[in-house]
Amino acid sequence: MRLTDKKKQYFADVSLVVFAILQGAAFVAGKDALNSITPMFLLAFRFGIAALILYGFMFKWIGKLTREDIKNGVVVGTVLFAAYAAQTYGLKYTTASKQGFMLTTYVVMVPFLYWLIHKKRPQIRVVVGSVITIVAIYLISLQETLSLEIGDVLTLVGAFLFAAHILFLEHFTKHMNVFKLAFMQMVMACFLSTTTALLTEPIPFEISSRIWLSLLFLGVFSTFICFTIQTVAQKYTSSSHASIIMSTESVFAAIMGVLILGEVMTKNVIIGCCMIFVAVLIIELDVKLFRKSKSEAIPVENV
């Protein structure tokens, strides 16, 4: 039975909710693993496991890789590696729940990056949501020094790179097999992680069973399943729509960080996180106050 475009987008949206839940859990698993393993080796194991499993299950669909497939995969994989490098190093210096919400800022970065690239200005509600998000980041990151901590800065860099990754996926999935792209980006991210780890970090000769469980969860669920879902889903939905649904990972990260790791959220963090959640809703929902005429509005696929 052939699915209509509307049904395809519906299934894509549901898949991205699954992505958000698994990514929320990834903050907790990653924070736990970082207590015993260095950041780059963590990423090397994570992407290596994901690439092997993806090829094992999807090799028939991946097939022979062309030069163009490899080139596109290298571009997307490099951006993905850079995003996760910033996020993982940042996670060493902040909490899982706090980082989960700060990474959500990519939802307001995507429309502005799209504007920069395609000359399509964002809607008013995106601008309003962006202002609220900036204020929220200040509240979440507010310390006695009234400055951003290193973990916060790295997290924001990661958010920008994740926004770029979403736009790259939207572009390349229109022109190539999604399973080839998913596989190639994981292989490239694994290669860069492993190379960086061998050059800059001590080799972890002893890894406890607990950490192996965290690494397997990150590799199988939060990387193989998540990025296969994202790559396929973005073929049937827009970059802005995908980023908004995926941003709900922050809620799951906060809940799991408190319940599993026993993290404490301060009043400022709670207020800031609520503000980011409101900003995401403003951007996603067609609020009457911010609704524009059809002649002015930007189609969702062009946001």
Selected residue with higher pLDDT from 2 and 297? 2
Q: Rounding to the nearest 10 degrees, give the CA dihedral for residues 281, 282, 288, 289.
A: 150
Whether pTM > 0.75 for this model: the answer is no
DSSP letter, residue 289: G
- pLDDT tens-place string over residues 92-120: 887 776 777 778 777 778 877 888 887 77
d(CA 216, CA 222): 9
Give residue 138's pLDDT band: very low, low, confident or very high (50, 70, 90).
Answer: low
Please state the rounded mean pLDDT for residues 226-254.
73
3-state SS assignment for residue 225: helix
Give residue 16's pLDDT band: very low, low, confident or very high (50, 70, 90).
Answer: confident
Please state the rounded mean pLDDT for residues 220-243.
78
The b/e string for 170-181 (b: 16+ C-beta within 10 A; e otherwise) is bebbeebbbbbb
3-state SS assignment for residue 184: helix
- Measured CA angle at 262 (ends 261, 267), to 5 deg: 125
Give residue 148's pLDDT band: very low, low, confident or very high (50, 70, 90).
Answer: low
Q: Are 227 and 186 in contact (CB under 8 A)?
A: yes
Q: What is the pLDDT of residue 299?
A: 38
Give residue 188's pLDDT band: very low, low, confident or very high (50, 70, 90).
Answer: very high
- pLDDT tens-place string over residues 261-298: 776 777 777 887 788 778 767 766 655 555 554 444 43
Q: What is the pLDDT of residue 141?
A: 58
Domain assignments of the chain as residue spans, ordered by start: 5-302
Note the maximum CA span of the chain: 62
Give residue 5's pLDDT band: very low, low, confident or very high (50, 70, 90).
Answer: low
Asked whether the CA dihedral 237, 124, 141, 281 is positive or negative, the reply is: negative
Give residue 12's pLDDT band: very low, low, confident or very high (50, 70, 90).
Answer: confident
